[in-house]
Each structure stands twice: as C-alpha cells, then as structure tokens.
Structure 1
Amino acid sequence: MHKEKVLIIKLGYSETLDGEIGKITSLGDVLRSTVLLHLYKNAHVTWLVDEKAFPLLKGNPFIRRILSYDLSSVLQLQSERFDTVINLEKVPGLCAFSDSLNAWRRYGFRFDPENGVALAYDGSQHVLEICMDPEYKKKTRKFWEETLFEMVGAKWQGEGCILGYQTKSSTAFDIGFNYDVGKKWPNKAWPMEYWKELERLIGNKYTVSWQQGLKNIEEYFEWISSCNLFITNDSLGLHIAGALNKKIIALFGPTMASEIYVPNGIKLLPTIDYPCIPCLSPRCKQSTLCMHYIEPNVVYDMIEKVVTGSVSPA
C-alpha cells in the first residue's frame, strides 16, 4: 500500500508568520511547525531542518526521516519524488530549491523568478499579507497553528506541537523560572530584577528552580519536565512546556499573545496603555520597555490562584 510521501521544509531561517529573515535559527518556529504532523500521521514524512534544530525533531514518531540542510541533502532530495512538498521558509534560495523538486502538490512559499523574492502558493497568499503587514496581522487575531493549517487546506481543531524527545525527569520543583529569551528578541524579556523580586515574594512557600540547560537542549527538556508550574517569557521554552503539558504562566509584551496557543496556560500582559502594544518588533521605541509593566506581585497572585485551583489554566 502506497503511503503519501511528504517533505516539510522548515529550517528556522525565517519565521513562518513574520516578514523578517534572519541568521539566527528560530527553534521555537521549528517546534511549533510540528503541529502539521497531526495531518500526516499515516504518511512517510521527511523533514529538512537546520542542524541546530535537529534535537527538536529527533525521536518524533511521525517523522520517518530527518535531514540536516547541506549540499548532500539538497542533491538527494532533488533526485526524489514526493506527493506533497510543504515549504515554510521564505528565504528566496530555499523557495527556488523547493520549486525544483518533483512533487504532485505544493503548499507554502514559492520563488518569484522575475523579482527574486518569495511568493505564496494558492491558499497561502493571506499568510504573506500577515508577514508583510503588521497591522493586518494584528487584525486577524488567529492562532498561529490555525493559520498554518489553512496554508495546507486543513482546519485546526486545537492540536498542539509534538516533541519527539522523551523526558526522564519526574517533577522536582513547584515552579520553574524560564527567564532567557535569546538574542533575536531581547525586548521580550521580563526584567531580571522582577524575577528576583518574584523569588523573594515566593520565599519558602514553593520550591523554585531557575532556568537550566542554556547550552544543552536535552538538559533544557529535562529541566522543564522537572517543573510543575512554568513561568516564562514568549520563547522556545513556552512551546516545549506546552508540548510537555505543563501548567504555564506566560508573560507577553511586544509579541502577539492572541497568536500564541498556550494549552494549560494563563497569559499576562502589560498594564501600561502603550498604543504600540504589541509592536511586533525586536526593537523598542519607548523609554521604558512594556515588559516592565507586568508587576511581580501580579505574577505572584496568579501563581497563588493556579496553585490553589481558584483559576485554571485554559
């Protein structure tokens, strides 16, 4: 019996719903894209990815083959035939590569040979509009996963991303502080002095663990697994915690909270009335970053509500 042969091109060089193309691999965008695997559980799926994101896909039961992006894998894929190719990268060279492959159907982004830029296949044009027009993006108010499913002609029904790594850690800490946001969006970070103040407010009431595994992704998986309640900025850790079904308190400012699906989670936003929130930019124009307007006592009160069960994560 023939199994549908599917190729997903998602390296992390460009964020699927963001117009910017950078040199920093977006690990969170790669992990979130695994939600598509719910549609191809019975298919033969190959995933082309940047080697930095390889551990996020390793062990995934719905990926038959993971290929790191290099000349060898490019030449190999150009010699194969696929039923479906899904290109989630807007890098023009990757779009041209995707277009060169032998495939029956295509979704996502394609190459414009006249202008040398990325375009969209039928059904994905609105995704490019979301990428290129921040105001349009704010008005759509759809979950990221919902838009991704629309790109391939499917309807999202609350599915989450799939992490292949099987953690071994049992719960050891009441609360985990996921404070790091990486270099790409420094203004997503809740101020370090606020984390320290929150720790002071908690005192000895709950056990607290500060982020571990900053240099080893598997240690990071295990640390997240060891925390019962996860407090986090909008970052890779948020999506890993969601995949591990952790209770989450997520702190949002410059990015769109309405776009992020947080299963089993609560979202907290700044109380300041900046007209630019969310600015959708890694560079802030305000004298005081909006993340300074999520007070530690507000986060502490939410911890109490989640722990006592007076408010339940959605």
Structure 2
Amino acid sequence: MTLHPDCRHFRGDLPCRPNKTHGYVCEGCPVYAPVTQRVLIIKLGAIGDVIRTTPLLRRLRQERPGCAITWLTLTPAILPQAEIEEVLKFDFASALQLQARQFDVVINLDKEKEACALLNTIEAKEKYGYALRPHDGVPWPVNALAEHKFLTGVFDQVSQANTKPYVQEIFELCGFDFRGEEYVFDTHDDKGYDWSALPTTHPRIGLNTGCGDRWTTRLWSDEKWITLIQGLQAAGYTPVLLGGEAEDTRNRVLHAATGAAYLGTFPLPQFINLMNQMDGIVTQVTMGMHISIALRKPTILMNNIFNSHEFDLYGRGQIVQPNKDCVCFYRGSCKLGTSCMEDLPAEKVLAAVQSTLPLHVL
C-alpha cells in the first residue's frame, strides 16, 4: 500500500483527518501536501503571552511555505487548532517524544529552565531564542538575535528604555522584520452560543474588571469602575461586565450598584465568544487584553506598571495611564502603599472610549 509519511496530514498512530472525513487514502489523495520543513515553537505560558505569539504563524507560513508547525504549550485550548499541524501540552510524554525527533527550526520564546533545557536537547538545523547553559543552568540566548529580548528581562533599566512592542521583539528574535501581522485566533463563533441575555442596545462596551493575582498594583477600585459605568450609561453606551471566577464577586457588586449587564462566568471558549459580542473593550493588562487585541476589538488599555511600548493595539485603541508617574515598574505591590491606578480618573477612561468609539459614527 502507498504511504505518504511526509504529508502534513499523516499521523501514523491514527487515521488522518482527510481519511476520516472523506475516506481518502495516500494513493491518489487529492489533498496530499508534502512537508517542506518542520518547525517547533516552544511557548509554554501564560495564556496572554501564548496568544500574542500567534502572529509568528503568519510569517512562518509566508517565509517557509509548506512547513508543518508543532507548538508546545501549557494551554493548548487557547491556540487555533485548525491553523497548526500539531499542538502539544507540555508534559513528560510530549518532552520525551520531541527529544526523539528532528526539526528544521526550533524557536523557544520562554526563559523558564525546562523550556531552555528542551531547546538544548532537541535536534534542529536552526535554533532561535533561549537555551540552558550546561555548566551553571542559567537561561541564555542561543543566537545573537535573542540578546535584545533577553536583556529586557534581566535589567529593569533596559526594559524601561525599550521602545519595541513585544510582537516586534519576537519577530526580530526569529530574524523577521515585523510588518503588522495580526494575531491568529479562534472566535468560537461556530459554537452557536446563546447570547439572548445580552442587552440588544449598542455599542456594547465590555469591561474586563480583573487584573490577576500576580500584579495587583494594576487593580482599579470598585468606586472607579462604578463611576466609569455610570458615565458610559449617561453617554449612551451599554456597559457589560466581563471576568472569570476571580472577578465574579466584584462584578456582582458592580452589577447591583449600576445595573450594568453581567451574565456570569463561562469556560474559556465561551468567554472568548462573549468578548466577541462587544463593540469595544476596556481592560487592564491581563489575558482579556490579549483576547481583545486578537479579536480586533477597539481596546482601551489601562496601564501603570508596565512599559506602554510593549503593547501594540494595532491602531484600534488607546492606552490610558494614571495622572502621575508610576514608581513600581513590574512590581506586584506598591512601594507607596496605594497604587497609582487610583490616580487614573474614570473620566479619563470614559474620554478614551468616546474618542475611540464615538457614538455618531457607530
């Protein structure tokens, strides 16, 4: 029997998708697609960082036509499965089989030691990103192109002086110039979720009220959110509260105080699709920000402790910051006791919404 193990669809352990869907076999297969190169991306987490790495997929397809891409991550569900030949969850089994394979290109964008160690042990013609120095176990650039991004994570002074967005940095790390490639993302519109409970009035402004538990200096008080919600309502917008389990209590309080729509919490795919029902998003630097950018939503980003140059909103939003300079760069707690986010007026955020999504053009 004729076999095409070089085909991008061929599995070996299971029937390929064209066989399951159409009954095709290798001999005479109309969708036979021989792989020209095999590429491995190691980007383990967090979810937001995985999302904002997906523009690389577009450029890899362009620069290396016919390549088959494997992506190793801690959060496979966030990746667009239809756009990647193989998505692997990082565990012992995945690491073991990757170490037995050969790739043309391996890109490791994480400085976690386990990711760096994998780059050391996987055979590839080209390697980009970070490896582990064997004699002392320190993460280190495997190529000169990775030095810039490496140094921004080593010295705060270098990070603060950086003027390059994250996506541009990782493109340059791989030897590409960044040309504004968009994220590759699944909106989950095909799932047919029922959003009849959403207000029918537009524009809907999603308010992603959480900030995670690592960088709590980003947190905005309930009082500020209430003032913003009331301002949006008075101006003719329809605010919708968004968040996960960590934001549920806060969102229930805000809903009770303002009447802003709140539908509760949802699994990640459904949450993404809920965000896709919005006309614009107000968010702090968090997973919701990356989802909003990926969905190509007008995004109002509230930022204080991070370098604002790091974020590329693709010309579809604004970054708003407190009225005084933040002195807690990349710190999880405020040195002054009260986060400077309290010096970001709700009126400033409202003005950003109004200039980004003016009612007269919607």
TM tier, shorter chain?
A: 0.7 to 0.9
Using the TM superposition, name which of 106-115 and 193-202 deviates more. 193-202
* Change beyond 3 A, Cα 1:153–1:307: closer
* Alignment match, 1:32: 52
Q: CA deviation at 1:71?
A: 1.4
Structure 1 residue 196 corresponds to structure 2 residue 226: yes
* Alignment match, 1:259: 310
Normalised to the residue count of structure 1, the TM-score between the two structures is: 0.87
SS at match of 2:41: strand
Find 2:275's aligned residue among 224, 229, 250: 224
Instruction: Provide the C-alpha distance between the structure 2 equivalents of 1:206 and 1:96, rounded to a whole number of angstroms.
Output: 50
Q: CA deviation at 1:60?
A: 4.4
Give CA-to-partner distance per residue, 1:20-47, whole Å, 9 cap, x none.
xxxxxx1111111112112222320000
Structure 1 residue 209 corresponds to structure 2 residue 257: no
Gaps of 5+ in 1: 13-25
Structure 1 residue 176 corresponds to structure 2 residue 206: yes
Q: For the pair shown, which has the larger CA radius of gyration, 1 or 2? A: 2
Fraction of identical pairs, as percent:
27
Q: CA deviation at 1:200?
A: 1.7
Alignment of 1:239-258 (within 5 A): 239-258=290-309
* Alignment match, 1:49: 73
Instruction: Provide the C-alpha distance between the structure 2 equivalents of 1:209 and 1:8, rounded to a whole number of angstroms.
Output: 36
* Change beyond 3 A, Cα 1:93–1:244: closer
* Alignment match, 1:307: 357
Structure 1 residue 287 corresponds to structure 2 residue 318: no
Q: Post-superposition, which runs of at least 4 consecutive aligned residues in structure 1 deviate over 3 A?
A: 168-173, 212-215, 309-312
Using the TM superposition, name which of 201-210 and 164-173 deviates more. 164-173
SS at match of 1:33: coil
* Alignment match, 1:16: none
Q: CA deviation at 1:167?
A: 2.7
* Alignment match, 2:324: 272
Structure 1 residue 77 corresponds to structure 2 residue 98: yes
Q: CA deviation at 1:310?
A: 8.8
Give CA-to-partner distance per residue, 1:265-289, whole Å, 9 cap, x none.
1110111144x26x12222212321
Q: CA deviation at 1:203?
A: 2.8
* Change beyond 3 A, Cα 1:303–1:91: closer
Instruction: Provide the C-alpha distance between the structure 1 equivalents of 2:275 and 2:114, rounded to a whole number of angstroms.
Output: 36
Instruction: Provide the C-alpha distance between the structure 2 equivalents of 1:219 and 1:148, rounded to a whole number of angstroms.
Output: 29
Give CA-to-partner distance per residue, 1:152-195, whole Å, 9 cap, x none.
11101111221134335689552111011111211122222211
Q: CA deviation at 1:105?
A: 0.7
Instruction: Provide the C-alpha distance between the structure 1 equivalents of 2:238 and 2:48, rounded to a whole number of angstroms.
Output: 27
Instruction: Provide the C-alpha distance between the structure 1 equivalents of 2:71 and 2:222, rounded to a whole number of angstroms.
Output: 37
SS at match of 2:357: helix
Q: CA deviation at 1:307?
A: 2.9
Find 1:116's aligned residue among 124, 137, 149: 137
Gaps of 5+ in 2: 1-33, 246-265
Give CA-to-partner distance per residue, 1:241-299, whole Å, 9 cap, x none.
1111111111110111111111211110111144x26x122222123211111101111
Q: CA deviation at 1:212?
A: 4.4
* Change beyond 3 A, Cα 1:235–1:60: farther
Instruction: Provide the C-alpha distance between the structure 2 equivalents of 1:211 and 1:2, rounded to a whole number of angstroms.
Output: 42
Find 1:9's aligned residue among 42, 50, 66: 42
**What is the aligned length?**
294
Query: Contact 1:181–1:233 (CA<8 Å) still a contact in 2?
Result: yes
Structure 1 residue 153 corresponds to structure 2 residue 175: yes
SS at match of 1:86: strand
Amino acid at match of 1:293: D
SS at match of 1:157: coil
Q: CA deviation at 1:57?
A: 0.5
* Change beyond 3 A, Cα 1:213–1:222: farther
Instruction: Provide the C-alpha distance between the structure 2 equivalents of 1:66 and 1:292, rounded to a whole number of angstroms.
Output: 41
* Alignment match, 1:126: 148
Q: CA deviation at 1:8?
A: 0.5
